[in-house]
């Protein structure tokens, strides 16, 4: 028997507008919605997201109650994957979204989150990732994370590497507008901080040794940049052994005042518009990986880009000019859900999954019930 995917949307902000619309177009059924903002609770999901129609799904502030209503109470006797899914578009750090993912895992709900650290948390939030993994395995659920990085910072680079005889260095640069992703992301990037504030709150805490990073990130006292998890994912997928990895947080500035839609205020010229999050990885095999994730409030004319170069024999380069980063993120999330149903139970990072694929028709999006 084939069945339409059943999905609960957790987090009803900018990204949810696309994940919900895309999921419906693929033929999925939205069976619940959760958000913590009081002004959204009780609203119809379709109306709240500006989809131009009602969906008959009310946004709730009660995660457990919504999951109970959508899928029933947790069943300890579950022995196989179930048609239970969640899309989680809330925060950027695994320790912040961990309680939600644990709630999904213990209920046998397969979840994909846009939490950037969730892309590969085994070199940062290891304790939380292990907790989620154990719950997911015990309840036959698959949990993973990513989005844009799943394709453009990961599988795309691995495909290029397959066309090289020898690799000496991999260098990536990717720029995105923090105004597209909500307040949590803007704050992590230091947008709106003065130079002194950025140095104290963002830059200084990231000047550590590899061992200090590992301990501090796991404890939550140091925040991993997006590049940190990307480099770790690439090393794992390419069969490289990490000897040392560091990250730097470098502020970006504008020469004129810029208004931020997310911060709801003007960033003065000379204050930080965001940052370059740079990770540098040294491996036993001699391959160096450097990735600059450049997130800032855009000035007029600024565009996203995603450029990577592999230095070796031969060199290889890819340029993604002005990619639709938010849209790619959400399309990847929605396309990935059937992969979770087919994957082993546990916290399964996307290096253990096949590349994300295009699903042409709603019938192809159905799964075994």
pLDDT along the chain (369 residues), means of 10: 94 95 97 97 97 96 97 78 96 94 97 96 97 97 96 97 98 94 85 96 90 94 91 98 96 94 94 96 98 95 95 97 93 97 97 96 87
Considering the domain architecture, whether residues 207 and 347 belong to the same structural domain is answered as no
What's the rounded Cα separation, in Å, for the pair 173 and 307? 5
Q: Are residues 337 and 284 in the same domain?
A: no
- DSSP one-letter string for 28-81: -EEEEEE-S-TTTTTSBHHHHTT-SS--S-BEES-HHHHHHHHH-S--TT--S-
164/288 same-domain check: yes
CA distance 184 to 168: 36
* Region of residue 76 (phi > 0: left; psi between -120 and 50: alpha; otherwise: beta): alpha
Torsion from C-alpha of 231, 233, 235, 238, nearest 10 degrees: -130
> For position 94, which CATH number holds?
3.40.50.720
In sequence order, what E strands does 206-314 have? 242-253, 258-260, 265-267, 272-283, 288-296, 305-313
Q: 96 and 161: one domain?
A: no
CB atoms within 10 A of CB 153: 26
Residue the block writes with tokens 């911060």: 263
**Same domain for 44 and 134?**
yes
Q: Is 338 helix (H, G, I), strand (E, B) or coil?
A: helix
Instruction: Identify the CA nearest to 305 among candidates 148, 90, 146, 194.
Output: 148
Residue 327 to residue 285: CA distance in whole angstroms: 36
Q: Quick one: pLDDT at residue 226?
A: 87
Is the same domain home to 45 and 138? yes
> If you search the block for the tokens 């397959």, which residue do you land on?
162
- The number of beta carbons lying within 10 Å of the beta carbon of residue 305 is 16
Residues 136 and 166 placed together within one structural domain of the fold: no
Q: What H or E segment, with its residue span, contains residue 142?
A: strand 142-145
Given this model, what pLDDT does residue 369 score?
56
Q: pTM of the entire structure?
A: 0.92
Q: What share of the chain is helix, strand, coil (3-state, %, to 5)?
A: 40, 25, 35
Angle at 11 between CA 358 and CA 69, to 5 degrees: 95
158: domain CATH number? 3.30.360
Residue 232 class from Cβ within 10 Å (0-12 exposed, 13-18 middle, 19+ buried)?
A: buried
Helices and strands in the chain: count of H runs, count of E runs: 13, 17
What the block records as the tokens of 205 is 């805490």
CA distance 280 to 291: 7
CA 65 to chain centre: 25
Task: State whether 123 and 244 are in the same domain.
Answer: no
Q: What's the CA gap between 94 and 117, in Å, rounded?
A: 6
How far is 284 from 240, CA to CA, in rounded Å? 7
Domain of residue 13 covers 2-147+327-368
- As a whole number of angstroms, the distance between CA 241 and CA 244 comes to 9
Q: Is 170 found in the same domain as 128?
A: no
Query: Cα dist. 291→225, 253, 264 in Å?
Result: 10, 20, 30
> Is there a single domain that holds both residue 224 and residue 80?
no
- pLDDT value of residue 262: 92
Tally of domains within the chain: 2
Residue 242 and residue 188 share a domain: yes
Is-cis flag, bond preceding 162, omega within 30? no
- Same domain (yes/no): 195, 302: yes
Scanning the chain, the segments in alpha helix (DSSP H) are 14-26, 45-48, 63-71, 94-106, 126-138, 148-150, 156-161, 183-188, 195-198, 210-219, 226-237, 325-342, 362-365
């Amino acid at each position: 028997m084939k069945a339409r995917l059943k999905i609960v949307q957790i987090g009803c902000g900018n990204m949810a507008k696309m994940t919900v619309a895309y999921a419906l177009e693929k033929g999925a059924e939205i069976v619940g919605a959760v958000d913590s903002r009081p002004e959204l609770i009780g609203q119809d999901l379709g109306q709240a997201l500006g989809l131009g129609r009602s969906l008959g799904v009310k946004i709730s502030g009660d995660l457990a109650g919504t999951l109970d209503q959508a899928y029933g109470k947790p069943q300890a006797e579950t022995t196989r994957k179930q048609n239970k899914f969640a899309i989680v578009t809330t925060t950027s750090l695994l320790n912040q979204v961990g309680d939600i993912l644990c709630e999904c895992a213990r209920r046998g709900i397969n979840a994909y989150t846009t939490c950037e650290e969730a892309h590969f948390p085994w070199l940062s939030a290891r304790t939380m990732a292990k907790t989620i993994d154990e719950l997911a395995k015990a309840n036959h659920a698959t949990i993973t994370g990513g989005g844009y990085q799943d394709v453009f910072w990961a599988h795309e680079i691995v495909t290029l590497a397959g066309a090289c005889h020898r690799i000496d260095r991999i260098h990536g640069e990717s720029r995105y507008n923090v105004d597209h992703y909500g307040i949590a992301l803007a704050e992590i990037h230091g947008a709106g901080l003065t130079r002194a504030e950025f140095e104290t709150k963002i830059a200084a805490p990231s000047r550590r040794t590899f061992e200090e990073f590992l301990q501090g990130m796991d404890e939550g006292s140091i925040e991993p940049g997006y590049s940190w998890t990307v480099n770790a994912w690439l090393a794992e997928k390419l069969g490289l052994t990490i000897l040392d990895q560091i990250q730097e947080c470098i502020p970006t500035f504008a020469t004129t005042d810029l208004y931020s839609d997310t911060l709801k205020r003007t960033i003065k010229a000379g204050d930080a518009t965001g940052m370059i999050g740079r990770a540098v990885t040294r491996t036993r095999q001699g391959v160096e990986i450097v990735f600059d994730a450049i997130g800032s409030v855009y000035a007029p004319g600024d565009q996203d880009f995603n450029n990577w170069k592999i230095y070796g024999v031969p060199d290889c380069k890819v340029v993604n000019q002005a990619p639709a980063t938010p849209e790619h993120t959400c399309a990847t999330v929605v396309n990935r859900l059937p992969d979770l149903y087919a994957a082993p139970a546990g916290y399964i990072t996307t290096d253990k999954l096949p590349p994300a694929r295009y699903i042409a028709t709603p019938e192809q999006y159905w799964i075994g019930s």
